[in-house]
Chain A
């Protein structure tokens, strides 16, 4: 009758170490796999919460800010008489710097047909101050609003603007849907 073979202490320790190493390797591999496949998150502004406080221009770690004004073309009426960007008492209905609310004259317009113009923002000039967005919401239909531009944003762990935002309008959103454009989603977060 064959005697049952018992493991020596040395063998037990070696097999335990092997088992532990395989387990660790599997864990590290699993974590690496999860990190490589899980959803990434980026910072973005909810335009329906934004209160145009100006801090996007002053608190971003980048200068000029990674926050820019965007134009929701689906909402805009394209008319000549846009109250969104004109200063009160403007001398002419044009995008000449003296007529714009924008401190850097970043708003440009393109003639479509009489009397319609398409408005767009020159991103290189925009500093994200939200002055035009406030004017557009007060007098227009709110089609001008702010967004974090992801080709500029460095995606800090703690967004300096989010920390300073008085209306809690900045939060992380999935990188697969990085922009919250008016017209594409509603104030309750649903898709239009």
Chain B
């Protein structure tokens, strides 16, 4: 009788101890058992893209033998790459045709229809002919200048100065001939708003100059003299527009004139019609998992998109499905 009572007592104590351990484990905040973040902000929801919209597939990745790629462009069957302190020109079969050293690190590149090349350093420009020989060099601009993008249109070279929130205009001898700041006189357009070091421009197949106005998520079309002609503007946290600071960071044009835009923050590349609607996605955010920088983009004659992935140090080629 005495033994039976002792056994019951032991069993009860053991049961209570087990229950106490289970409860303590349940309410503990040890790793793996921590309560959910009561202030969670589900940013991942903005990273998901409708698979139906992804109408491009990655077909090739080409690793680069450089440490610091900066810019990419495509013209006349060749890929032009600015990296470290040099220009590399790569043929269609991925054979390097030539490389040219620059006195400083180029931040941007543009090539015209005849293969003449303009490289934008932080505060000056260099023009090379189609053999890679230097034919012109601009004066050194003030130190506070930060050229982030260049384009060639007719007899002019345009350079986007992110620090000065302005477009500098040069002639083919790289003598400065003008400047404009995107001010239109209309209250909605108070000039270029450049929150960070991302300010891009490009010429479309119709020979029109397009410039980003990243502070208001706009792509704007200007005449050669710097007069605003048209614009598209899309602010949205979704795939249908741009959000946050400095987007779109880079853009280029497909042969049919559609925009290819590259965004930072939630890194993604998408195609927009000339009217401004998002048509499809080239590379969704998951293609850049772990990445931190918006890739530079170029498009070849077949409409393939060449993506310069700074985080992976490679060129990635996406072709339409």
Contact = CB atoms under 8 A, between A and B. Distances in A.
Contact of A79 (B29, B34, B40, B195): B195
A135 to B, nearest CB: 6
A81 interface: yes
Interface in B205-264: 215-217, 235, 237, 243-246
B165 to A, nearest CB: 10
A89 B29 CA distance: 34
Contacts of B237: 83, 88-89, 139
A101 B262 CA distance: 26
Nearest to A93: B235
A167 to B, nearest CB: 12
Contacts, number: 81
B192 to A, nearest CB: 11
B41 A52 contact: yes
A7 to B, nearest CB: 64
Nearest to A187: B292
Interface in A140-167: 140-141, 164, 166
B245 A83 contact: yes
A82 interface: yes
B94 interface: no
A141 B190 contact: no
Q: How large is the interface on A (under 10, 10 to 19, 20 to 34, 35 or more residues)?
A: 20 to 34
A135 B43 contact: yes
Nearest to A52: B41
A36 B40 CA distance: 43
Contact of B245 (A55, A129, A140): A140
A103 B39 CA distance: 8
B95 to A, nearest CB: 37
Contact of A134 (B41, B216, B245): B41
A52, A55, A79, A80 interface centre (most CB from chain B within 10 Å): A79
A105 interface: no
B31 to A, nearest CB: 7
B195 A54 contact: no
B265 A139 contact: yes
Contact of A83 (B34, B39, B243): B243
Tell me if A's interface is mostly helix, strand, loop or mixed: loop
A138 B215 contact: no
B217 to A, nearest CB: 7
B245 A77 contact: yes
Interface in A52-78: 52-55, 57-58, 75-78
A84 interface: yes
A30 B19 CA distance: 54
Contacts of A58: 38
Nearest to A132: B41
A151 to B, nearest CB: 23
Contacts of A164: 29, 34
A42 interface: no
A167 B235 CA distance: 33
B98 interface: no
A101 B41 contact: yes
B193 A84 contact: no
A115 interface: yes
B43 A141 contact: no
A83 to B, nearest CB: 4
27 contacts: A53-B37, A54-B38, A54-B39, A58-B38, A77-B245, A79-B193, A79-B216, A79-B245, A81-B215, A81-B216, A89-B237, A101-B41, A103-B39, A114-B190, A115-B190, A115-B216, A130-B39, A131-B41, A134-B41, A134-B43, A135-B41, A135-B43, A139-B244, A141-B195, A141-B245, A164-B34, A166-B34
Nearest 7 pairs of A and B residues by beta carbon: A77-B195, A139-B244, A54-B37, A83-B244, A129-B39, A88-B237, A54-B39
